[in-house]
Amino acid sequence: MTFSDYRVAVVTGATSGVGRGAIDLFLSKGLTVHAIARDESRLAELAGKGVITHALNVRDTAALTRELAGVEADIVLNSAGVSRAGNILSSSAEDLDDLVEVNLTAVMQILRLLYPGMVERDRGHVLNISSIAGHYNFFGHTAYHATKAAVHQLSRQLRNDAMGKRVRVTELSPGRIETEIFSRNLGGTPETDAEAWATYYEGFESLTVDDVVAAIEFAVDAPSHVNIGLVELMPTFQVPGGLTFDRRDQDAALQGAK
Ligand X SMILES: NC(=O)c1ccc[n+]([C@@H]2O[C@H](COP(=O)([O-])OP(=O)(O)OC[C@H]3O[C@@H](n4cnc5c(N)ncnc54)[C@H](OP(=O)(O)O)[C@@H]3O)[C@@H](O)[C@H]2O)c1
Where does this chain bind ligand X (CB under 6 A)?
Answer: 13-19, 37-39, 42, 57-59, 79-83, 102, 129, 131, 174, 176-177, 179-181, 184
Question: Which CB, 45 or 122, lies closer to ligand X?
Answer: 45
Between strands 8-12 and 124-129, the pairing is unpaired
Question: Which CB, 1 or 46, lies closer to ligand X?
Answer: 46
CB of 78 to ligand X, least distance (A): 7
Question: Which CB, 1 or 131, lies closer to ligand X?
Answer: 131
Question: Which CB, 153 or 224, lies closer to ligand X?
Answer: 153
Alpha carbon 163 to its chain centroid, in Å, reads 24
DSSP β-bridge partners for residue 233: 174
Q: Which of 6, 115, 136, 144 is labelled catalytic? A: 144
CB of 175 to ligand X, least distance (A): 6
DSSP type of residue 166: S
Annotated catalytic, 200?
no
CB of 17 to ligand X, least distance (A): 2
Check if the beta carbon of residue 54 is closer than 8 Å to that of residue 33: no
Q: E strands within 109-258? A: 124-129, 167-174, 230-233
Choose among 124, 120, 109, 111: nearest CA to 168: 124
Check if the beta carbon of residue 99 is closer than 8 Å to that of residue 141: yes
CB of 241 to ligand X, least distance (A): 17
Give the distance between the most distant pair of CA atoms in the chain: 71
Question: Which CB, 1 or 75, lies closer to ligand X?
Answer: 75
CA dist 211 → 3, 93, 184, 229 (Å): 18, 34, 21, 18
Choose among 44, 58, 39, 23: nearest CA to 184: 39
CB of 18 to ligand X, least distance (A): 4
How far apart are the C-alpha atoms of 253 and 201, rounded to whole Å?
33
How far apart are the C-alpha atoms of 53 and 63, rounded to whole Å?
13
Residue closest to ligand X when measured from CB atoms: 17
Catalytic residues: 144
